Structure 1
Amino acid sequence: MAAKSLLTPVALGSTTLRNRIGMSALTRSRASGTVPNDVMREYYVQRARGGAGLIISEGVLITQQGTEWPEAPGIWSQAQIDGWKNIVDAVHAEGSKIYAQLWHLGRLNHPAAPEQIAAGVPVYGPSAIMARGGRFRHIPGVKDYVVPTELPDPKTIIALYKQAALNAKAAGFDGVEMHGANGYLIHQFLDSSANQRTDSYGGSPKNRTRFALEAVAAAQEVFGADVSIKLSPTGGNNDLGMPLPETVATFGHLLQQLEALPTKLAYVAFMRYNPLHDPIYPDADGKTRATQFDVITTFKPYLKQTPLWANSALSLEEALAYVADGTAAGVFFGLNWIAHPDLVKRIEHGKPLDNQIDFAHLYGAEGVDPALGYTDYKTAAY
C-alpha cells in the first residue's frame, strides 16, 4: 500500500501538520530529577528530524508526585519550563509540532516515593480504592500501591491542570494532550471501579465524566482549540475497566459533551485494545478488568466534527487504511518510534523497520550513559 495517505498535511487545532503520523507519549525516565535536560532534547530532536508530524511529549507531571517512574519530568517549576522550552524550540526548528501530555497519577502514586514525601500531601484518588499491581522498583521494599485518600475537592486538581497548561504555553508547546488513559487520574474518575463517590463527581456517567470535562475546559482557557484528550476505553491497564454497556454509556456521554464544546478539540486519541496493557494481577481472582471491544468502530460515530486519531499497536497497513477511508485523521505510533528515530522517512522511502528495541535500557539504568537505548538508534541510509 502506498504511504501517500499518511504523508499529506492535516489541520490540527489552530495549526497544520506536515503529515498524519504522530509520535505517542512514551515515558523514558531520563530527566534530571524532574527537570528536562539535554539528552532529552537530543531524543526529541532526532524524531522531529525523522519526520514526525506531531510529537506528544512523555507524560509531564502537573504537580510534585511520587510516580512509579523515576526521573519523570514535570512542568510546575521555572526550571522545568526552561528545560522544556529548550526542547520545544529545537523540535520546531526541525519542522515538527509538539504537544505536552498533562499527567496526574492519582491513586498510582506512592507515599514512600521521594517526590511524594517532598510534596507533603497524601496520595489522592477519586475514592479510597487501591489499584492492584504496582511497579515501584526504585523504592526499596515497595511493590504495591496503597489505598488513596479520597480527593476532598476535585477542583483543586483542575486548577493544577490550568496552571500546567499555562506553563506549557510559556514553554512554547503547540498544545496539550490531557492524559485520560491507562488508569491515571482522569481515567480513574471515568471508571466506576475506581470512582465510587456520592457527590457530583461520582455515580452516573454524567457525574463521572465531570472531572474530565472540567480538566479539558481548564486547558482550553489557555490553549483554545489546541487541546486534545487521550482515552483508553478498554481499560485493563492499572486495574480499570467496566462492563461493556457501562463503558459505552460513560465514554459515549463524554464524547457527546466534547463534541458539543463551543471550541472543538484538536483531536480525540483512542487507544485500541492491546494485550500489553491488559495485565493479569497476582492476586486471588487472577483476573483483569479489561473490556475487549473495537474502540474505533464503537466510538467513531460519536465524533462528527472532532478529529479521531488512532493509537496502540497499529500496523502500517492498519494505519494506512484508517486514514485512507476517513476513519482517522491521523495515527500515533509508539514502540516503532523508540527504535526508529527516522520512522516517517523510513515509511516514505519504503525502508524496513529493522532496529530492535533495547529493552534492557528502555527506562535507563543506574550508573550507565542515559543515551544508551535512548538516542543511540541508527537511522537508515537514504
Structure 2
Amino acid sequence: MSALTRNRSTATVPNDLMLKYYLQRAKGGAGLIVSEGILITRQGYSSISTLSQIHRLMGESYRTEWQQAPGLWNKAQVEGWKKITDAVHEAGSKIYAQLGHVGRLGHPDAPEQVAAGVPVYGPSALAARGGKFRFLPGEPGYVTPTEMADPTVIIAQFKEAAINAKEAGFDGVELHGANGYLVHQFLDHTSNKRTDKWGGSPENRTRFALEILKEFKAVWGADVALRISPASGYNDMGMPLQDTIDTFGHLLREAEALGLSYVALLRYLPLLDPEIDGKKRATQFDVLQTLLPFLLKTPIFVNGGVTPAEAEDLIGNGKAAGVFMGINWIAHPDLGRRIREGKPLDNVPDFMTFYGVEGVDPALGYIDYKEATY
C-alpha cells in the first residue's frame, strides 16, 4: 500500500479514526503499508496547495484543507503513531513511515507556518507555478520562498523524525523524494538554482537527498527506502529527458551504494501532470525501463496505476520486486484479500472525499468503503 495523503489527523496528531483506517487495510491484506506523508517539522508542514487536476474533476465548488496531515516532531505524535503501528503489527502487516517536507510549497499565511514563526524555505528563491490555497482568503497561489541558507539544518530535522519513527514503532522509513516537495525541489534544476555545493551538477543537486538517506541509515540500518517520481510534473517539476536521466541515474547509483531496502519508482500519470501556462510540465518516458539499469541489487517497487494483472507480469518477469498500489487501497480496504481470492475491484473511489470535506464527517470516504463478501 503506497503512501496516500488523507488529511484526517487532529491538529497534526494521529487519531483513532486513522487507527481504524490503517487497521482495516492491514486486515485486508496489505503486507507492507507506507504511511501517508508525515511532516518532519512544523515549518516544513505548512500547508499544501490543491491538486488542480483532481479539483477539475471535483468541480470548483469543492473546498479542501490540508491542515490535518500528521507530523512526527513531538511526543503526542509519536504516541499517536505508536497506537497505529501496534495495531498494524497485531494484524500481521508491516508499516514504513514516509517522511517529508513541503519546502517552497508552503504559504506564509498558513496556520502551521505562522505558528512555526520562520519563513517558507526552498532550495532557491523561486516560486512554484500553479496551485491555489483554497483554505486561505482569496485562494492565493504560491509565493516566492526564502532560499535555504543551511540545508544541513533540515537534514538534522529529517534525522530527528527518523528517530521518532523508531520510537513510534515503525518498521522502517521511506524518504519522500517525489511530487515536487522539498527533496524533489533540490533534485530538479528548474527549482534549484543554487551555485554552492547543493546546486548545479547532478552530483550537487542529489547531495541533499543522499545526505538525508545517510542519516536515515545511521538510525535504521537496512530499513530505509526512497520514493521518486522522475516523470511527474506535479508542483511545477520536470526537466528535459537527458537531464532527468543524468540526475536520477546518479541519485540511484549512489543510493544503491548505501544499501536500501527498496526504491519506489512512480511512473508517469496524467493526473500528476497538470497544465501550467497552457503546457504539460512533465517529461514523459518509461521510468522503469530507463532507470532499471542503475539499480543492480536494490529491490525496485513500481507505483502508478498498476493493475493486479500487470503486477503479476512485472513481478513474474523479474522487472520489479514488488508493486505499490494507491487509489485502489482507498476504495477497497480489503484490496489484498480481493486480489488473492479473485474478487472484483468494484468500489468506485470518491475523489470528492479523498482529503476530507469541510464540515462533513471525516469518516466519509475514509473508513466506510464496503468489503467484499467472502
TM-score, with length taken from structure 2 = 0.94
Distance 2:263 2:135 in 1: 33
Give the aligned partner of residue 288 of structure 2: 296
Q: Per-residue CA shift, 1:106-128, capped at 9, x if unaligned?
A: 00011010000000010000001
Shift in Å, 1:314: 0.8
Select the residue among 4, 9, 31 that pairs with 1:53. 31
Percent same amino acid among aligned pairs? Answer: 64
Given the alignment of the two structures, is residue 367 of structure 1 paired with residue 359 of structure 2, yes or no?
A: yes
Give the aligned partner of residue 183 of structure 1: 180
Q: Is the 8 A contact 2:26 2:92 kept in 1?
A: yes
Matches within 5 A, 1:284-363: 286-363=278-355
Given the alignment of the two structures, is residue 216 of structure 1 paired with residue 194 of structure 2, yes or no?
A: no
Q: Per-residue CA shift, 1:77-97, capped at 9, x if unaligned?
A: 100000000111001000110
Distance 1:144 1:114 in 2: 16
Shift in Å, 1:358: 2.2
Select the residue among 274, 282, 291 that pairs with 1:279. 274
Shift in Å, 1:246: 0.6
Matches within 5 A, 1:99-118: 99-118=96-115
Q: Which amino acid aligns with 2:3?
A: A
Shift in Å, 1:370: 1.2
Shift in Å, 1:360: 2.1
Q: Is the 8 A contact 1:75 1:167 kept in 2?
A: yes
- SS in structure 2 opposite 1:310? strand
Give the aligned partner of residue 77 of structure 2: 80
Runs of 4+ in 1 over 3 A off after TM superposition: none
Distance 1:142 1:101 in 2: 28
Give the aligned partner of residue 236 of structure 1: 233
Distance 2:186 2:270 in 1: 23
Given the alignment of the two structures, is residue 126 of structure 1 paired with residue 118 of structure 2, yes or no?
A: no
Distance 1:269 1:251 in 2: 13
Shift in Å, 1:317: 1.8
Shift in Å, 1:288: 2.8
Q: Per-residue CA shift, 1:57-98, capped at 9, x if unaligned?
A: 000000002112220100001000000001110010001100
Matches within 5 A, 1:237-276: 237-261=234-258, 264-276=259-271
TM-score, with length taken from structure 1 = 0.92
- SS in structure 1 opposite 2:348? coil
Question: What is the CA RMSD across the aligned residues, in angstroms?
Answer: 0.8
How many residues align? The count is: 355
Given the alignment of the two structures, is residue 140 of structure 1 paired with residue 137 of structure 2, yes or no?
A: yes
Q: Is the 8 A contact 1:133 1:238 kept in 2?
A: yes
- SS in structure 2 opposite 1:260? helix
Give the aligned partner of residue 159 of structure 1: 156
Distance 2:285 2:175 in 1: 23
- SS in structure 1 opposite 2:264? strand
- SS in structure 1 opposite 2:30? coil
Distance 2:116 2:169 in 1: 26
Distance 1:359 1:26 in 2: 13
In structure 1, runs of 5+ residues without a counterpart are 1-22
- SS in structure 2 opposite 1:58? coil
In structure 2, runs of 5+ residues without a counterpart are 49-65
Distance 2:174 2:307 in 1: 23
Give the aligned partner of residue 24 of structure 1: 2
